Amino acid sequence: MAIYTHIGRLFQGKARFPAYVMLLFSFLAVAAQKAPQKKLKILILGDSLTEGLGVEKEDAFPALLDAKLRKWQEGFLVINGGSSGSTSASGVRRLKWYEKAQPDIVLLALGSNDGLRGVKVEETRKNVEAALRFCQEKQWQVILAGLKVPPNYGADYAGAFERIYPDLAAKYKVPIVGFLLEGVAGETGMNQADGVHPNERGHERIAENLFRFFKPMLAARFSKAAKPG
């Protein structure tokens, strides 16, 4: 719009624009106002919990979070990067595939299947850390999603697994969602018959938790971007 105002000033007090030129400027001004803005892309990289195994794609929490963010404010796109059966070992390889999507923010929700399979905690930690570092090298804002596992392999294993996420968040100074399945894990009405995968209500709860997490962070981000200089 500034360029049209500038041109108008140059011709102020001089010969009037031909009607077709004025019409062209009007068209360009309207087109500029309607031009789509670049969306802020949030990639959620996870496993079957993220993909939404057992529910429709639109009922999985990434799609529900996308809808909540759009209702709050335009300009967001949440990408479902879930892959059923995947472990943390595939994290970096999958992030490389999502480079073409050019995400701005990446929520890493990696490790659930590691815990269910009894993968060594040190191995899971190494894989999650490698994914985190890859995101930072690409200058994507990275967030960790905390995860827990049932005590099938003993309390020591479960405790060591749970500490992976706050430890890495502190080491790399990144935000963390305390527990991705807060209010869902272990709740009969929130999970499918297998007791592991959330049902529609469970996904809605996860989406609501994430929306409350993201909202102040994104508001602060936009506020900072809007400041001059």
Q: Comparing C-alpha atoms, which of 204, 139, 146, 155 is closest to residue 175?
A: 146
Q: How confident is the model at residue 224 (pLDDT cuts 50, 70, 90)?
A: low
Q: Give pLDDT, residue 220.
A: 85
Read off the pTM.
0.83
- Give 141 or 229, the one with higher predicted confidence: 141
Q: How confident is the model at residue 2 (pLDDT cuts 50, 70, 90)?
A: very low
Q: How confident is the model at residue 16 (pLDDT cuts 50, 70, 90)?
A: low
Torsion of CA 89, 95, 97, 103, to 10 degrees: 160
Tell me: pLDDT of 14 over 80: no
Tell me: pLDDT of 12 over 60: no
- Give 125 or 221, the one with higher predicted confidence: 125
Q: Give pLDDT, residue 101.
A: 96
- pLDDT per residue as tens digits for the range 126-179: 999 999 999 999 999 999 999 999 988 999 999 999 999 999 999 999 999 999
Q: How confident is the model at residue 15 (pLDDT cuts 50, 70, 90)?
A: very low
Distance CA 25, CA 27 (A): 5
- Catalytic positions, please? 48, 194, 197
At residue 107, the 3 state secondary structure works out as: strand
Q: How confident is the model at residue 19 (pLDDT cuts 50, 70, 90)?
A: low
Q: Give pLDDT, residue 226.
A: 57
Tell me: pLDDT of 213 over 90: yes
- Give 4 or 154, the one with higher predicted confidence: 154
Instruction: Delineate the domains of the chain, giving CATH numbers in brackets.
Output: 2-34 (no CATH), 40-226 (3.40.50.1110)
- pLDDT per residue as tens digits for the range 103-114: 999 999 999 999
Cα 121 → chain centroid: 25
Q: Average pLDDT of the chain?
A: 88
Residue 38 per-residue DSSP state? P
Torsion of CA 162, 144, 206, 58, to 10 degrees: -130
Tell me: pLDDT of 75 over 70: yes
Tell me: pLDDT of 5 over 50: no
Tell me: pLDDT of 30 over 80: no
Residue located via tokens 């639109």: 58
Q: How confident is the model at residue 38 (pLDDT cuts 50, 70, 90)?
A: confident
